[in-house]
Structure 1
Amino acid sequence: MDQRPFILHMFTPGKQMSPFDINMAVDAGYNVVVPYCGVTAGEITGLTQDAIFSRGSKGVRATGIFIGGRDVMLAADMLDTARKAMVPPFEVSVIADPSGSYTTAAALVACVEEQLRKAHDTDFAGKRVLILGGTGTVGRIAGVLAAALGAEVTLASHRDGAAAEQSAADTGLRFGCTLNGAGLADAAMRAAALAQADVVLATAAAGVQVVSADERAGAGRLLVAADVNAVPPEGIAGVGVMDDGKPLPEGKGVGIGALAVGNVKYQVEHRLLVAMRNADKPLYLGFREAFDKAREIITEKRAKA
């Protein structure tokens, strides 16, 4: 049996590979983890083929590729390019998770889906989902996943409505769904959007509060409010980092905090990396596969409750 060490080649368009992802790779059992920085889309084919041919048809099983960066669409393109660069039987597993957005968005949407079921006996179908900080990496992918479940999704920016509309159009076109974009630059606009929302997701920058206590109280339709910001103050006032279905101070809504989402995100990334290492056939893992894994983790958690 081939006992070669497991190697993970980590490609990022950025100046540096995320230390978080390097730690995750080592903890998932990769013996050698090599970051490549400043990688362009045009270099993926060459780097991939360099990685697959040197270890023979058996050694590729102990080789993997990780695609990072900060651009969710570029990462998806790089994943597709790497897959097309394989020359059977020289094929290795590839995972994309730019800025952790694929696994975080997967965990976020799976956690909200569970609370919709648990607290309200419903699902995403037909729900109005407002994503604050929606033009960022996590917000865009969470929007795609929620839209695939039948939600009406709005990606909102507190600065630039035109940019939000463009982000929604570009993301929807790339991933085959319909997303709306909105600029919520002032309190009246935010209040109007929140009043129509069944689900609110806060995916803005760390340490930025996007929903005040008064604004939250005015969201009369709200079923679930979820926040991925673990840095004070809370992204949504009244939603603590440890909350996992805790009732909000008013109405019938429940809150999900950043650490509840983060716990699922961590498990998703770990399990996907382990699955790559253990796979007999190459795996190609993006945000849809991450969402499947997040649902699996939530189901296991429910069974143990």
Structure 2
Amino acid sequence: MFTPGSQMSPFDINMAADAGYQVLAPCCGVTLAAVTGLTQDTIFSRSPKGLARTGIFIGGRDALLAADMLDRAKAAMVPPFRVGLMADPSGAYTTAAAMVACVEAALLRGGSAGGLAGRRVVVLGGTGPVGRIAGVIAAQAGAQVALSSRNGIDAAGEAAQQTGARFGVALEGVSGGDREAVLRSIAEADVVLACAAAGVQVVDAEALAQARALKVAADVNAVPPSGIAGIGVMDDAVPIAGRDGAVGIGALAIGNVKYQTQQQLLRRLHEAATPEVLGFAEAFAVAREHLRQRAGA
């Protein structure tokens, strides 16, 4: 388990243990430059057949750095010495995948045949790891995506440019620096994703009422107060009071899908006959399939 941080997340350690890994070896303070050497130390420690018992998990809190570390580890493989790789920095990849998949499912159930395609999506807290990756996944699904920052348009624009360039999508930056800026940004949004810090309400009831085009609002904040007023943590596409046709998705509804997604990916990494590379695209595919199966149950 590689992390650039000073410690590996206990959440990820527990998830890996539950997925079947028996020996968990956190490597902390890992730089991008160190990934090649650590990866090759890993792959050359066993025979190619024995490497089926080994995988590398990349954590941390930087969504872009994790993607770079994943690419660096993949490039360090020397066939036939290969192991499975998975990145999920601060849970951002699986959380973002679960969030966007839940929104897409709600749009489809609501009669939006194209799902996210062509929809205006505003990500509040869009400069954080979950916000950035949720924006990328939504853009890859055909949405028009704006990342918002409470630090203003410059911070939002920089995050949108960096993230869009890294993953090959078009992202816009919008200001969330004050209440009026948030109001302007969500006024014509079809989808609002609240990815701000825990315990911070970014959309109050009055602001939500002014989002005229709103179809789905989703919030990953499980710490009171809710990130979006009126959305309960257990809400799963529940109609928003006073908003005809708009539904809300709460943190624990998203969290359940996130948990299932991360667990499935870790098991896949553990059990695959051929080593795989698992990032947020694979997480989104798993989350989508989980929701499809649940809907058909």
What TM-score, normalized by structure 2, do the two folds share?
A: 0.98
Equivalent residues in 2 for 1:212-251, closer than 5 Å: 212-249=204-241, 250-251=243-244
State the SS of the aligned residue for 1:180.
strand
Consecutive unaligned residues of structure 1, counting only runs of 5 or more, are 1-9
Which of 94, 98, 102 is the aligned partner of 1:107?
98
Following superposition, the deviation at residue 220 of structure 1 comes to: 1.4
State the SS of the aligned residue for 2:248.
strand
Specify the alignment match of 2:255 in structure 1. 262
Corresponding letter in the other structure for 2:248: G
Asked whether the equivalents of residues 175 and 185 of structure 2 are also in contact (C-alpha less than 8 Å), the reply is no
Equivalent residues in 2 for 1:195-206, closer than 5 Å: 195-206=187-198
Distance (Å, rounded) in 1 between the aligned partners of 2:111 and 2:250: 18
Specify the alignment match of 2:131 in structure 1. 139
Asked whether the equivalents of residues 132 and 201 of structure 1 are also in contact (C-alpha less than 8 Å), the reply is yes
Distance (Å, rounded) in 2 between the aligned partners of 1:237 and 1:120: 25
After superposition, give the CA deviation of every residue in 1:57-90 in whole Å (9 maximum; x if it has no partner).
1110000000011111111111111111111111
Consecutive unaligned residues of structure 2, counting only runs of 5 or more, are none
State the SS of the aligned residue for 1:131.
strand
Equivalent residues in 2 for 1:1-305, closer than 5 Å: 10-122=1-113, 123-249=115-241, 250-304=243-297
Corresponding letter in the other structure for 1:256: I
Corresponding letter in the other structure for 1:97: D
Asked whether the equivalents of residues 211 and 236 of structure 1 are also in contact (C-alpha less than 8 Å), the reply is yes
Asked whether the equivalents of residues 148 and 174 of structure 2 are also in contact (C-alpha less than 8 Å), the reply is yes
State the SS of the aligned residue for 2:122.
strand
Distance (Å, rounded) in 1 between the aligned partners of 2:82 and 2:177: 48
Please tell me the root mean square deviation across aligned C-alpha atoms, in Å: 0.8
Following superposition, the deviation at residue 159 of structure 1 comes to: 2.0
State the SS of the aligned residue for 1:130.
strand
- State percent identity of aligned pairs: 60
After superposition, give the CA deviation of every residue in 1:31-61 in whole Å (9 maximum; x if it has no partner).
0001011000011111111111111111100
Distance (Å, rounded) in 2 between the aligned partners of 1:191 and 1:31: 50
Distance (Å, rounded) in 1 between the aligned partners of 2:152 and 2:180: 15
Aligned residues: 295
State the SS of the aligned residue for 1:201.
strand
Following superposition, the deviation at residue 218 of structure 1 comes to: 1.1
Asked whether the equivalents of residues 88 and 279 of structure 2 are also in contact (C-alpha less than 8 Å), the reply is yes
State the SS of the aligned residue for 1:232.
coil
Asked whether the equivalents of residues 174 and 185 of structure 2 are also in contact (C-alpha less than 8 Å), the reply is no
Asked whether the equivalents of residues 228 and 261 of structure 1 are also in contact (C-alpha less than 8 Å), the reply is yes
Distance (Å, rounded) in 2 between the aligned partners of 1:186 and 1:41: 36
After superposition, give the CA deviation of every residue in 1:242-268 in whole Å (9 maximum; x if it has no partner).
000100012210000000100000011
Distance (Å, rounded) in 1 between the aligned partners of 2:37 and 2:123: 38
Corresponding letter in the other structure for 2:256: N
Distance (Å, rounded) in 1 between the aligned partners of 2:154 and 2:20: 45
Following superposition, the deviation at residue 200 of structure 1 comes to: 0.2
